[in-house]
Homo-oligomer: A and B are copies of this chain.
Amino acid sequence: MIKAGIIGSTGYAGEELVRLLLGHKNTEIVWYGSRSYIDKKYADVYQNMFELVDAKCMDDNMQELAEKADVIFTATPQGLCASLVNEEIISKTKIIDLSADFRIKDVKTYEEWYKIEHKSPEFIQEAVYGLCEINREDIKKARLVANPGCYTTCSILTCYPLVKEGLINPDTIIVDAKSGTSGAGRGAKIDNLFCEVNENIKAYGVATHRHTPEIEEQLGYAAGREIRINFTPHLVPMNRGILVTAYASLAKDVSYEEVKAVYDAYYGKEKFIRVLEKDVCPQTKWVEGSNYVDVNFKIDPRTGRIIMMGALDNLVKGAAGQAVQNMNLMFQEKESEGLELVPMFP
């Protein structure tokens, strides 16, 4: 039985972790951390957990938690995990950090985009970027996993095979992403009120969103060199889901079949990545509640570009689901344990 502690269990990603871990055969949640709700019953914060979770919320005591837990999930604002982690803790327990603290290898880049001083840069090199399908073997051996961002997971997986194989010019990549509102978290902000989001769509963080360098770094590894892309997120009036529509110029003349073969080569055996059939566009609803990423593409011979598309549930494959997948890898569990969820429709 893996003993799991969650710091930040009352955010949306934290709560999704609870949902998933409750369905995991070999995991027991031993710590429902939530600085905002200390001593409050977890099921009073999330009424769906009534009669399912009996525990109360606890403080963010990582020291104590390291004694009790085999793995700690930090589903917290940027900066918190970096400020709490140290060698003593990490020698006792594994950490899966759902924040951005250990995703970016270059501290300056992190500090520039996040406007935060990094409190434990000494762990950055050790941290493994937890994109399971790409870094599977490294994750298995990791003590500290940097769980990828929601937008980045979708963006990278959508473009990865074509970048890696050199089929597209990586500097022409433009990622236009659309996200459900749970990605904005459970903070009480006017911008996220129902009446502000409903019947509305907008871009935000244009040319400045912090997932940009993360995508660039990872796709840069695939390209074998530094790259610069455009990334524009949008807020969509729905709870869950990210859709990525990515554009790039083809590096050479390719047919549908050739590109399809590349996607299949990379993802054909991946349980959680589904390369759709010709001309079927990914839809966020088709993956809702599940750990799947649906990807597909369309070549536009008129412009010499390719349009790559990907859809996932931002709280599952984009956060908690991938975190559980990482845990499974780190603890030699079946990779899909607790994640064999059929997408819910409608």
Q: Footprint of B on A, CB under 8 Å? A: 12, 15, 18-19, 22-23, 46-52, 171, 174, 176, 178, 180-182, 186, 188-190, 192-204, 206-207, 228-230, 232, 234, 236-241, 243, 245, 247, 274, 276-277, 280-290, 294, 298-300, 302-303, 305, 307, 309, 311, 340-346
A207 contacts B342, C-beta separation under 8 Å: no
Given contacts A198-B239, A207-B300, 20 further A-B contacts (CB under 8 A): A47-B286, A47-B294, A48-B286, A48-B287, A50-B276, A50-B286, A174-B305, A176-B176, A176-B247, A181-B193, A181-B194, A192-B194, A195-B239, A196-B285, A199-B346, A202-B282, A203-B281, A207-B299, A207-B302, A229-B303
| In the bound complex, CA of A49 to CA of B6 (Å) | 32
On whether A207 and B307 interact (CB within 8 A), knowing A181-B194, A201-B284, A346-B198, the answer reads yes
B228 contacts A245, C-beta separation under 8 Å: no
Query: Which residues from B are CB-within-8-Å of A247?
Result: 174, 176, 230, 247
| In the bound complex, CA of A206 to CA of B245 (Å) | 10
Query: Which residues from B are CB-within-8-Å of A23?
Result: 340-342
Query: Which residues from B are CB-within-8-Å of A284?
Result: 199-202
Query: Which residues from B are CB-within-8-Å of A47?
Result: 276, 280, 283, 286, 294
Query: Which residues from B are CB-within-8-Å of A195?
Result: 12, 181-182, 186, 192, 239, 346
> Closest residue to A41 on the B side, CB-wise?
B277
User: Would you give 10 A-B contacts (Cβ < 8 Å), ordered by A?
Assistant: A47-B276, A174-B305, A196-B285, A199-B346, A203-B309, A206-B307, A207-B298, A228-B302, A228-B303, A289-B289
